[in-house]
Amino acid sequence: MSGRVLWIWEEDECLALRAALAKHNAYRPMPERITQRRIATELGVTPATINAYFGGRRALGIEVALAVLKLTGIPVEQFSQRLADEIRYKACP
């Protein structure tokens, strides 16, 4: 981890992601809930790394956004318009 302090908008993205995942999991039975551990496994990182994203200590990147989209179907725009725009930009030829 870089150890840098996040900008407020970066922290806001992290909090929005945490809220979106909580809403996604709210009415699902336990086996269907998406955990931070499951996201970590999908990305091949430690649960502590994912906890840093969800805790607003590490800025979100495209890889995290796409993993959340893949596992949950939560649109990236729901937690980060910036990342959604970056993903669209990279997809353009």
Q: Give me the number of domains the chain comprises.
A: 1
Per-residue exposure over 17-32, b if at least 16 CB sit within 10 Å of its own CB, e if not = bbebbeebeeeeeeee
Q: What is the CATH number of the domain that holds 67?
A: 1.10.260.40
- Which pLDDT tens digits describe the chain residue by residue (93 residues)? 457 899 999 999 999 999 999 999 999 999 999 999 999 999 999 999 999 999 999 999 999 999 999 999 999 999 999 999 999 998 887
- Supply φ then ψ for residue 64, to 5 degrees: -65, -45
Dist. CA 66–CA 26, nearest whole Å = 21
Task: Give the per-residue pLDDT at 1.
Answer: 45
In a domain, residue 3? The reply is: no
In a domain, residue 2? The reply is: no
Cα angle vertex 35, ends 62, 13, to 5°?
A: 40
Task: Give the per-residue pLDDT at 2.
Answer: 55
